[in-house]
Amino acid sequence: MFTLKKSFRFEASHQLKNHKGKCARLHGHSWEFIVEIEGEIDKNNMVIDYAEISEIAKPLIDEKLDHWHLNDTLNSDDPTSEYVSKWLYNYLKPHFTTERYKLIALEVKETCTSGCRYTEK
């Protein structure tokens, strides 16, 4: 069994409207998310081509994440790292579920030192 990871970056603002601290104010981050896919290799010794992962993730980044306000595009008053990681996982899971491989985790980093990893376990 193999685990592949592919990371993506985007810039976006958010506001945690129900938070008591400074994150209640509108602010932005240089976000990163990491897709983790587990599976078996095929006859070409690949689980999935990294380019295929990008083909699915790039339109999502362009249409809902990069230079967007996450409160609006993800429809939440509190798009925390936890919320964003689960939202991304649920969005991407149908695209990465086959007999040979599946999405097993989605990690989101909102700063270089803070992030969240979501799995269904």
* Tokens found for residue 84: 């964003």
**Which residue of the set 19, 27, 67, 120 is catalytic?**
67
Gyration radius of the chain over CA positions: 15
Rounding to the nearest 10 degrees, give the CA dihedral for residues 52, 58, 60, 66.
160
23 given a catalytic annotation: yes
Q: Is 19 annotated in the active site?
A: no
Residue 11: φ, ψ to 5°: -110, 130
Is the separation of the CB atoms in 34 and 53 below 8 Å?
Answer: no
Q: Is 67 a catalytic residue?
A: yes
Question: Residues 23, 29, 69, 82: which is the catalytic one?
Answer: 23
Catalytic choice (38, 110, 112, 116): 110
Residues with catalytic annotation?
Answer: 23, 67, 110
